Structure 1
């Protein structure tokens, strides 16, 4: 893939990763609740989910999902239910005194699950890749070119959310977040429930 074609691809992937939505809320929740390691793991596994959808796009399978209403509906409702579940968990936690960093610091398995499932359950990603990334995939594009698209989407997404996790877990930021833990839980819960409703309603 030429540099002239790759630079617009890089810009599109960066803008897609940085747009606010359920992914940002999920990484924030895992970082503030579980510490730097959980936030980084959530960001990296989210990138794996993004890479999977990018791979489906270059193989032409993502278009099949979009054009099969029942399959697309399964992904949409599955993602909405998972976001709603995360929102309810956040609201339930807001009744406590704050984040339990000691208990949650090693909860990397939950961070892995959240990152992957939020990516895979986000129908916006499927539409994003089919509508935008597919324009970079031509019939004569080499295998190396196709997988460079997948690698770019994966690395840009992972790099952005790992950066978010590192910034949120900074020694000057984390104590402030901890002091306002209950309100952050409430805000995150409301945002996740609102996003779940938005996804469910299309």
Structure 2
């Protein structure tokens, strides 16, 4: 892979990572409600899920998902159900939620990471995105090194972007303001997640 081709790949991955969606809502939820470490765990576990989709696409597994209507629908509904479940929990929790700063109410860092990973793993549209993306860069003579570079680029861009989001949210007055309005943040985040879940199953 040439450096010019990699720059094009990098730019598209950045745009994909920066697109608002359920991933941002989950990172926000973990960072504001628990800690910077929880937000970073959600970010990098999410990136690992993105890396799995990228690798699956390159190895040809994601093509099967894209061509199988049943497999696509199953994963889509699982993902939508998970989004709706998280959204309902956030709305019902109010101020005594995962956004609370009370250490006794915090979830574990591992659970925060698993939540981040689940959001990406149960998102079949990542398969479609990567099929469209990598089809522009994968060629019959592509080496294993090229494939690893593409997978690593998608993974690192995603992880680094959400790490930046986490660090900004967890810095000083921004986090304090969000924590003071935790109930509003809960309701907004929950509403966004439920709306995204509804959008997934109605498209």
Do these two structures clear the TM 0.5 threshold for a shared fold by scoring above it? Answer: yes
Give the distance between the partners of 1:138 and 1:147, measured in 2 at CA.
Answer: 14
Do the aligned partners of 1:35 and 1:101 also contact (CA within 8 Å) in 2? no
Taking the aligned partners of 1:111 and 1:104, their CA distance within structure 2 comes to 13
Any idea what the Cα deviations from partners look like across 1:14-43, whole Å, max 9, x if unmatched?
000000001111110111111100000000
Q: Name which of structure 1's ranges 57-66 and 88-97 shifts more when overlaid on structure 2.
A: 88-97
Q: Does 2:37 match 1:31?
A: no
Stretch moving more, 69-78 or 96-105: 96-105
- 2:61 corresponds to 1:61: yes
2:180 equivalent in structure 1: 179
1:132 aligned counterpart, secondary structure: helix
Cα distance in 2 for residues equivalent to 1:103 and 1:42: 20
Alignment partner, residue 89 of structure 2: 89
Backbone CA RMSD of aligned residues: 1.4
State the distance in 2 between where 1:3 and 1:31 align: 35
**1:66-77 aligned within 5 A:** 66-77=66-77
8 Å CA contact 1:45–1:112 kept in 2: the answer is yes
Q: Is the 8 A contact 2:95 2:182 kept in 1?
A: no
Distance, in Å, in 2 between the alignment partners of 1:189 and 1:174 is: 18
Partner SS for 1:173: helix
Contact 2:84/2:194 (8 A) holds in 1: yes
How many angstroms apart in 1 are the aligned matches of 2:7 and 2:177? Answer: 38
Alpha-carbon deviations, 1:22-68, whole Å to 9, x = none? 11111101111111000000000000000000001110111110001
Distance 1:42 1:163 in 2: 12
Instruction: Mark the runs of 5 or more structure 1 residues left unpaired by the alignment.
Output: none
Aligned counterparts of 2:152 and 2:102: Cα–Cα separation in 1: 33
Task: Tell me by how many angstroms 1:4 deviates.
Answer: 1.0
Residue pair 1:33, 1:104 contacting (<8 A) in 2 also: no
In the alignment, is the contact (CA less than 8 A) between 1:57 and 1:134 conserved in 2?
no
Which portions of structure 1, spanning 4 or more consecutive aligned residues, are displaced by more than 4 angstroms? none
Q: 1:91 to 1:106 in 2, by over 3 A?
A: closer
Q: How many residues align?
A: 202
Q: Secondary structure at the match of 2:55?
A: helix
